[in-house]
Amino acid sequence: MRRQIDPTVDCVFKAILGKEENKNLLIHFLNAILRRTGARRIVEVVIANPYNEREFLESKLSIVDVKATDREGRQYQIEVQRAIHAGLEARMLFTWSALYHGQLGKGQSFLHLRPVIAIWLLRKPLFPDLPAYHIPFGVYNLPHRLQLTDQMAIHVLQVPKWQASKGRPDARDRWMYFFKHGRDLDPAAPPTMLQTKEMTQAMNVLAGFSEKEKDYLLYEQRLEAERVELTWRELLEQATAALERERREKEREQQEKERERREKEQLLQEKEREYREKEQQLLKEMEHLQALLQQSGIDPKQSV
């Protein structure tokens, strides 16, 4: 029986793009996503962290990516993210900056720095309100439309947002289709758009995880680790949200008490003002009465 294998599960993803024997797929993927053609095509890469089954067996967390360098020294980071969580944008920038910073050794000048290109495949949209599936980022001055440098590039691929174009599919479309619908693919009967040498090779990796018991157990283990991590993350988010609600409620109660205190204080001040006004009015009336008595020849201070 054919087992369904999702190519966005970390061990499968890295087997497709991070194995030395599949290095041609990594090159094909990079050229497809970055639209590299002609003289700009990537023809060779060195994988910095090739696929190693042990890293998945020993790691409980799904923090795995593919890192490679081309002949011109440009570095590539390809990562799949199956869940969206707080701080993901910061993590994207942090991991990019770590690679960029790590290029320089002691005594080297900034002229040795080469571009670092990060590609993030997201199984859930980071920007759900945007219809676009490919969102590239760089360092720009928006008012003047001025690029500070071309050495930074972060490409966000919102997999669920991808839709097949009406025209003839290109290599990027094939990869997006593969990662979006890979779990439901039958390698023995692929759709027409995936009937190419590279996509057949990628589907064979899925077939391997389905057919080989050892690989399938690894796949199931990674899914379980992902579920556990997601459960703890959701529990933490729920606890954080509950604490935030409690903080806001206490803050609201404190504000309500402060409002009541100010209202009472204002009411007291108003009563004191009314008392002083009445007191002043009474004094004026007494002074007026004394003046009338004095005009009549009566000394109001003299005892009766």
Residues 191-250 have pLDDT tens digits of: 999 999 999 999 999 999 999 999 999 999 888 888 888 888 788 888 888 889 999 999
Over residues 119-127, the mean pLDDT reads: 96
Report, as an integer, the average pLDDT of 104-112. Answer: 89
pLDDT of residue 85: 85
The C-alpha atoms of residue 71 and residue 46 are separated, in whole angstroms, by 8
pLDDT digit string, tens, across residues 45-89: 999 988 776 666 655 554 558 999 999 999 999 999 998 888 899
- State the pLDDT at residue 58: 59
In a 10 Å sphere around its CB, with 0-12 CB exposed, 13-18 middle and 19+ buried, how is residue 56 labelled?
A: buried
Read off the pLDDT of each residue in 124-142 and give the average, rounded to a whole number: 95
Cβ partners under 8 Å of residue 112, min gap 6? 103, 104
Average pLDDT over residues 118-145: 95
What does the pLDDT read at residue 222?
87
Angle at 25 between CA 21 and CA 30, to 5 degrees: 135
Average pLDDT, the chain: 90
The whole-number average pLDDT for the span 168-190 is 94
Mean pLDDT to the nearest integer, 30-44: 94
| Distances from the Cα of 299 to the Cα of 81, 281, 282, 287, 302, angstroms | 99, 22, 19, 13, 6
| pLDDT of 56 | 66
| Res 179: pLDDT | 97
Predicted confidence at residue 290, as pLDDT, reads 85
Residue, of 7 and 228, whose pLDDT is higher: 7
pLDDT of 302 over the 80 cut: no
Confidence bin at 1 (pLDDT 50/70/90): low
pLDDT of residue 55: 66
More confidently predicted of 122 and 53: 122
> What's the CA angle centered on 206, arms 24 and 153, to 5 degrees?
50
Cite the beta strand spans of the chain per DSSP E.
Answer: 45-47, 65-70, 75-81, 116-122, 134-141, 146-158
Residue 299 has pLDDT above 80, yes or no: no
**What is the reported pLDDT for 54?**
67
For residue 175, the model assigns a pLDDT of: 97
Per-residue confidence (pLDDT) for residue 228, from 0 to 100: 84
Backbone phi and psi for residue 103, each to the nearest 5 degrees, phi listed first: -70, -30
Per-residue pLDDT, 288: 87
The per-residue pLDDT for 115 is 96
pLDDT tier for residue 19 given thresholds of 50, 70 and 90: very high
Lowest-confidence region among 191-205, 244-258, 271-285, 286-300: 286-300
Q: Taking residues 296-301, report their average pLDDT.
A: 77
